[in-house]
Amino acid sequence: MCKPRVAILGAGPAGLGAAFQLARQQSAEVTVLEQNSYVGGNAGSFELNGIHLDYGSHRLHPACDPEVLRDIRSLLKADLLDRPRHGRIRLRRRWIHFPLKPLDLALKLPPAFAIGTFGDILRKQFPGGNDNSGCGKETFASVLQAGLGRTICRDFYFPYARKLWGTEPESLSAIQAHRRVSAGSLAKIVRKVLAAIPGLKPEGSGRFFYPVKGFGQISEAYYQAAVQAGVQFHFNTSLTSVNMQGASRSVSFLQDGQEKTIETDNVWSTIPITVLARLLMPSVPMKVLEAAENLAYRSMILVYLILEQNQFTEYDAHYFPETAIGISRLSEPKNYNASIQPEGKTILCAELPCSKDDDVWTQSDEELGTLVCESLAAAGIPIQTTVLEVVTRRLPQAYPIYTNGYDEYFDQLDKWLGGVDGLLTFGRQGVFAHDNTHHALFMGYSAARCLDEEGQFDSSQWQRYREIFKTHVVED
């Protein structure tokens, strides 16, 4: 008997997780179509001057689903390092260790910030003192202000939100606060801080996993395992249509200037849900397409500065909430895998969230290099050596933007696509989710688990998985 055929769109962690799990179950014939020439999507890596670089700071968090972690460990073996986190946040011109540490907070917290936060805690203890300005509908701003108080919001979360999503906190949905901010209350922050004290430390706290050859080594390992198990990959594809009409389903794409079509029984899409909506046949109704038009992704430019020095700082990442500093985060990849090679060179990766309509999106590498150097000088960590080269990469879909009411637009689109037999959409771009790589892999595994070798898809089980996906909270 022929196995069901599955065409997976996108070779990021979600698509790779599904391909890997289907191949392991031997329940389907799998083809993956990817627009890039490499796997991993936003969680991929590339090499420059002998240094493995990610598309912005990426770590594998210990909160990873145990089965996914077991697989990653068995695929990467000794190449998966267990590393201490060592970052810092610039808060009111001072540096605070991130993750937060009790002693560091006690000694270095800016006085105005400490007094303000203490006042916020006191206000919460007394009736009527709640910070929730809260008449009307909940927003990102009202939820965080109620949970964390004014000071942390004013000095950290709100300016950071403006930078990350390009939108005022009051215009962002409350869902953004619930999904994106893992420490949503002062009590949770206190628990996290206490977790840094030896003895109170839960397993994995303040640590992360990181592959020797960059974060993308995880995706590369899934890709290799899937290929060995018989999965077919097509790279550099430009999708032209996804035909789900009747029983003869197919995906058409351009590759090397030629139009190609593959027949399939199922299409599992991990590409942006808004793009899928435009490619689909039967055509998505105009009203649903209009809903899709209201869903927007925040883009990001990654600016890599190649420096003539062994190490820029000892920190893996610096976080910049202040709006006066253009970049949101700076990471030093050599510090992620504790590499001392190559000698005499290091690379910095600056993250610059933006919209594709912003002038900055089309700026030259040189201009962007200058912008980053100016940002670092303004943050008090100027570059004091030669910048040998500036290299940039652009992520068109870095973060989904949860503006107020986005969920109604998403639900309309998701509901309509969910009614198309044989079609699934999942992964970060597919469910418009702020997820981590381990969540995307878990989604891929979950989809595969719902399909048996006779081609029966267990939709009820999939709905139960979808409910689990909604509980995923992003770890930073």
Ligand X SMILES: Cc1cc2nc3c(=O)[nH]c(=O)nc-3n(C[C@H](O)[C@H](O)[C@H](O)COP(=O)(O)OP(=O)(O)OC[C@H]3O[C@@H](n4cnc5c(N)ncnc54)[C@H](O)[C@@H]3O)c2cc1C
Given the rule CB under 6 A, which residues bind ligand X? 9-15, 33-36, 41-43, 56-59, 61, 237, 239, 270-271, 275, 300, 351, 395, 398, 427-429, 435-438, 440
Residue 291 CB neighbour total at 10 angstroms: 23
Least distance CB 143 / ligand X (angstroms): 22
Q: Going by DSSP bridges, is the β-strand pair 266-269/45-48 parallel, antiparallel, or unpaired?
A: unpaired
Question: Phi and psi at residue 332, in whole multiples of 5°?
Answer: -120, 95
Nearer to ligand X, 146 or 302 (CB): 302
Round to whole Å and give the CA distance between 68 and 286. 39
Least distance CB 428 / ligand X (angstroms): 4
Q: Are 32 and 239 in contact (CB under 8 A)?
A: no
Residue partners of 252: CB distance under 8 A and separation at least 6? 239, 240, 241, 242, 243, 259, 260, 261
Nearer to ligand X, 3 or 85 (CB): 85
Nearer to ligand X, 113 or 160 (CB): 160
Round to whole Å and give the CA distance between 53 and 38. 14
> How far is residue 276 from each of residues 263, 281, 291, 425, measured CA to CA in Å?
17, 10, 13, 9
Nearer to ligand X, 29 or 34 (CB): 34
Least distance CB 197 / ligand X (angstroms): 24
Which of 216-248 are b and which e, b meaning 16 or more Cβ less than 10 Å from the residue's Cβ? bbbbbbbbebbeeeebebbeebebeebbbeeee
DSSP assigned state of 220: H
> How far is residue 390 from each of residues 8, 350, 368, 369, 435, measured CA to CA in Å?
35, 11, 8, 6, 29
42: Cα separation from own chain's centroid: 7
Least distance CB 65 / ligand X (angstroms): 12
Structure tokens at 24: 């392991």
Q: Are 209 and 68 in contact (CB under 8 A)?
A: no
Least distance CB 426 / ligand X (angstroms): 8
Nearer to ligand X, 102 or 355 (CB): 355
Least distance CB 138 / ligand X (angstroms): 26
Place of tokens 């540490």: 101
Nearer to ligand X, 337 or 436 (CB): 436
Least distance CB 270 / ligand X (angstroms): 5
Which helix (H) or strand (E) segment is 395 a member of?
Answer: strand 387-401
Least distance CB 191 / ligand X (angstroms): 21
Nearer to ligand X, 127 or 257 (CB): 257
Least distance CB 341 / ligand X (angstroms): 23
Nearer to ligand X, 113 or 410 (CB): 410
Nearer to ligand X, 221 or 300 (CB): 300
Least distance CB 323 / ligand X (angstroms): 18
For 101-169, the DSSP string reads -HHHHHHHS-HHHHHHHHHHHHHHHSTT------SSS-BHHHHHHHHH-HHHIIIIIHHHHHHHHSS-G
Nearer to ligand X, 105 or 474 (CB): 474
Report which residue's Cβ sits closest to ligand X.
12
From the list 363, 314, 324, 19, the residue with the least C-alpha distance to 162 is 324
